[in-house]
């Protein structure tokens, strides 16, 4: 049977008599409810993940139902598509009937319909039927007749519905799908065409966080190995760790969507804001980890062992450890120490225990500053205890005390290192290194004061990379080390 001719403008009198059926995932909301709900399950009840996946034996509908039984989503925090929302409100004001039709589980679809207050009816997946593509088209044709409804969707699966619709509305569609829609349905309405930017991908993989992986070069610097093979090995290790870290950042953001949306700055991250597709994020996560591992194959096998330890600890942090008080900041400190260890094994040198202990105390200080900054920000805004964390606002004084103590202990470890026989053997003028503890004491004290004032960035490492005073301190310490060799 030939498809009915679509209407050029879904707002004309003929179209007003037809209900406007609206897809949910990627259309009304810039997210995917199955990925959202499963990520919440993994982040809050990881041991139930395998049980939910086992339901796939009964099909995707059974899987969605199993996840929905265990996860209640905060639909109010989901990123609605503002252009489509305005369009729907205008159509509703004209007296048009609006219908929500989604492949998401019916409990989520009905909750979102109730939240928006726009829809007169809801079609959605249940435990037996996955309402997607041809199945959705059959259900809508049974309810309204072929050509008796207009349909707004965003994915290639919606082509099955559009061919039976009286009017076509493409929302948040990719350029390729828009070309297909325009060719097959000349009167289609195009709303909010998808325009994913390179900047969104770079933000998602957090290229700016690669600065932390410069720690990989520190063992070569402290061992005074400046030859070409060492440099090449360090750059390979840096590339491997940077891509691996990006993959773990993607995993963390996918698992922490609802908490990120409640955060003052993290809500602008691409997945939380809906500027990047969640399924594309999963693919990118696997791709970055795979390339990271392939690069690691050119280095000694011990590097791959350290990389695997980093993956395991980072994944554990994302799924469980970041909600455990004190353990979370100790984990962050250890992740920095692992970077130093990776740099050492990449060039086959022994990592100084002094350097390792200094880094653990120093980065424990920064991790505690990070947590203190989050609490201070919420205190100033009267926002209450942070979601997804085990810290309360009244923990702030002890966290700040722990941060300053850890920072000053790191300086003490450095002093003991400067006074050790190792330094006397490595440096021609080791006495010059005594200037570094003074700079560190100044910098740590300044960081603590800025944190108390609420002037600290929520990532102290990034703050240091952009702060002029911090850069001057780092430059001075590097010059002192070079002058001491």
Query: Same structural domain for residues 111 and 218?
Result: no
pLDDT at 196 over 90: no
157-183 pLDDT per residue, tens:
999 999 999 999 999 999 999 999 999
Residue 319 placed within a domain: yes
Find the CATH number of the domain harbouring 152: 3.40.50.1000
Confidence grade of residue 129 (pLDDT, cut at 50, 70, 90):
very high
Q: Which of 191, 208, 226 is the last residue of a domain?
A: 191
Number of structural domains (the chain) is: 2
Burial bucket for residue 280 (CB in 10 Å: 0-12, 13-18, 19+): middle
Q: CA torsion, points 219, 221, 222, 224, in degrees to nearest 10?
A: 120
The pLDDT mean for the chain works out to: 89
Rounded to an integer, the average pLDDT of 209-217 is: 90
Tally helices (H) and strands (E) across the chain.
23, 6
Domain region containing 113: 13-191
**Which of 142, 159, 191 delimits the end of a domain?**
191
Residues 84 and 31 in one domain: yes
CA of 305: how far to CAs of 297, 312, 474, in Å? 11, 11, 31
Per-residue confidence band for 384, with pLDDT thresholds at 50, 70 and 90: confident
For residues 417 and 435, membership in a common domain is answered with yes
State the pLDDT at residue 127.
85
Residue 291: the pLDDT is 96
Which long-range CB contacts under 8 A does 155-158 form with residues at least 24 apart? 155/23, 155/26, 156/180, 157/103, 157/132, 157/133, 158/23, 158/133
Which three-class secondary structure state does DSSP give residue 325? coil
Question: Quick one: which of 229, 243, 351 has its CA closest to 299?
Answer: 229
Confidence of residue 8 (pLDDT cuts 50, 70, 90): very low
Share of the chain above pLDDT 90, in %: 62
pLDDT at 388: 65
Q: How far is CA 56 from CA 13, 49, 52, 59, 70, in A?
A: 45, 12, 8, 5, 15
Element holding 99 (H helix, E strand)? strand 98-105
204 lies in the same domain as 154: no
Strands 150-153 and 98-105, how do they pair? unpaired
Instruction: Evaluate whether residue 318 is within a structural domain.
Output: yes
The contacts of residue 325 (CB under 8 Å, 6+ apart) are 390, 391, 395
Helix (H, G, I), strand (E, B) or coil at 125: strand
Question: 7 lies in a domain?
Answer: no
Q: Where among 191, 220, 241 does a domain terminate?
A: 191
Higher pLDDT, 223 or 234: 234
Do 221 and 248 belong together in one domain? yes
For residue 447, what is the domain's CATH number?
1.10.600
**Structural domain includes residue 105:** yes
> What would the mean pLDDT of 427-433 be, rounded to a whole number?
87
Instruction: With beta carbons less than 8 A apart as the criterion, state whether 45 and 67 touch.
Output: no
Torsion of CA 448, 452, 454, 458, to 10 degrees: 40
pLDDT at 13 over 60: no
Residues 212, 187 share a domain: no
The answer to whether residue 2 is domain-embedded is no
Tens digits of residue pLDDT in 89-109: 999 999 999 999 999 999 999
> What does each C-alpha distance from 19 to 111, 133, 165, 172, 280 come to in angstroms?
20, 19, 10, 20, 32
396 and 283 inside one domain: yes
Note whether 202 and 187 are same-domain residues.
no
pLDDT, position 236: 96
Q: What is the pLDDT of residue 11?
A: 44
273 and 395 in a single domain? The answer is: yes
- Provide the pLDDT for residue 14: 53
CB atoms inside a 10 Å sphere around CB 266: 17
In whole angstroms, what separates CA 69 from the centre of its chain?
Answer: 25
Q: Give the count of alpha carbons within 13 A of 245, CB side only.
A: 22
Residue 322 inside a domain? The answer is yes
Residues 268 and 165 in one domain: no
Q: What is the pLDDT of residues 261-308, one digit of tens each?
A: 877 778 888 888 888 889 889 999 999 999 999 999 999 999 999 999
In terms of domains, do 19 and 48 share one? yes
Report the pLDDT value the prediction gives residue 12, as an integer from 0 to 100: 54
- Note the pLDDT of residue 353: 85
pLDDT tens digits for 15-57? Answer: 677 999 999 999 999 999 999 999 989 888 888 889 999 999 9
pTM reported for the whole predicted model: 0.81
User: Is 6 within the bounds of a domain?
Assistant: no
Q: Which two tokens stand for residue 318?
A: 């994302």
pLDDT of residue 346 exceeding 70, the answer is: yes
Report if residue 154 sits inside a domain.
yes
- The confidence score (pLDDT) of residue 300 equals 94
Cα–Cα distance for residue pair 193/171, rounded to 1 Å: 6
Q: Are residues 187 and 221 in the same domain?
A: no
Question: Tell me, what's the pLDDT at 5?
Answer: 31
- Which DSSP helix (H) or strand (E) runs through 230? helix 228-255
């Amino acid at each position: 049977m030939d498809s009915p001719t679509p209407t050029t403008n879904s707002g004309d009198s003929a179209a007003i008599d037809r209900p406007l059926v609206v897809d949910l995932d990627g259309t009304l909301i810039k997210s995917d409810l199955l990925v959202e709900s499963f990520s919440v399950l993994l982040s809050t009840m990881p041991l139930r993940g395998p049980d939910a996946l086992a339901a796939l034996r009964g099909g995707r509908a059974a899987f969605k139902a199993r996840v929905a039984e265990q996860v209640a989503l905060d639909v109010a925090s989901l990123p609605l598509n503002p252009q489509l929302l305005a369009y729907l409100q205008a159509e509703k004001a004209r007296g048009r009937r609006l219908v929500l039709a989604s492949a998401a589980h019916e409990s989520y679809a009905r909750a979102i319909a109730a939240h928006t207050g726009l829809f007169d009816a809801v079609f959605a997946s249940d435990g037996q039927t996955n309402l997607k593509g041809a199945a959705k088209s059959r259900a809508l044709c049974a309810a309204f007749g072929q050509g008796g409804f207009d349909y707004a969707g965003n994915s290639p699966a919606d082509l099955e519905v559009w061919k039976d619709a009286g009017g076509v509305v493409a929302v948040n569609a990719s350029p390729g799908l828009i070309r297909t829609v325009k060719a097959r349905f000349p009167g289609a309405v195009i709303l909010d065409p998808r325009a994913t930017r390179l900047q969104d991908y770079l933000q998602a993989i957090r290229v700016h966080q690669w600065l932390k992986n410069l720690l990989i070069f520190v063992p070569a610097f402290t061992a005074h190995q400046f030859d070409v093979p060492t440099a090449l090995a360090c750059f390979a290790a840096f590339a491997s760790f940077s891509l691996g870290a990006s993959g773990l950042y993607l995993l963390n953001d996918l698992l922490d969507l609802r908490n990120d949306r409640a955060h003052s700055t993290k809500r602008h991250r691409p997945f939380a804001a809906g500027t990047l597709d969640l399924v594309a994020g999963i693919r990118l996560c696997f791709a970055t980890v795979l390339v990271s591992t392939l690069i690691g194959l050119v280095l000694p096998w011990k590097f791959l062992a350290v990389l695997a330890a980093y993956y395991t600890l980072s994944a554990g942090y994302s799924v469980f450890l970041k909600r455990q008080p004190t353990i979370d900041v100790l984990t962050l400190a250890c992740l920095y120490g692992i970077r130093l260890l990776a740099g050492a094994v990449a060039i086959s040198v022994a990592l100084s225990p002094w350097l390792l202990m200094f880094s653990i105390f120093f980065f424990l200080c920064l991790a505690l500053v990070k947590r203190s900054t989050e609490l201070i920000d919420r205190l100033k805004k009267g926002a209450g205890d942070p979601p997804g964390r085990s810290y309360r606002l009244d923990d702030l004084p002890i966290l700040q005390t722990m941060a300053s103590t850890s920072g000053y202990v790191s300086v003490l470890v450095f002093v003991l290192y400067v006074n050790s026989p190792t330094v006397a053997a490595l440096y021609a003028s080791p006495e010059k290194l005594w200037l570094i503890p003074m700079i560190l004491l100044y910098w740590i004290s300044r960081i603590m004061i800025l944190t108390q004032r609420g002037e600290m960035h929520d990532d102290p490492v990034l703050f240091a990379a952009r702060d002029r005073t911090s850069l001057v301190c780092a430059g001075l310490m590097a010059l002192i080390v070079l002058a001491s060799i």
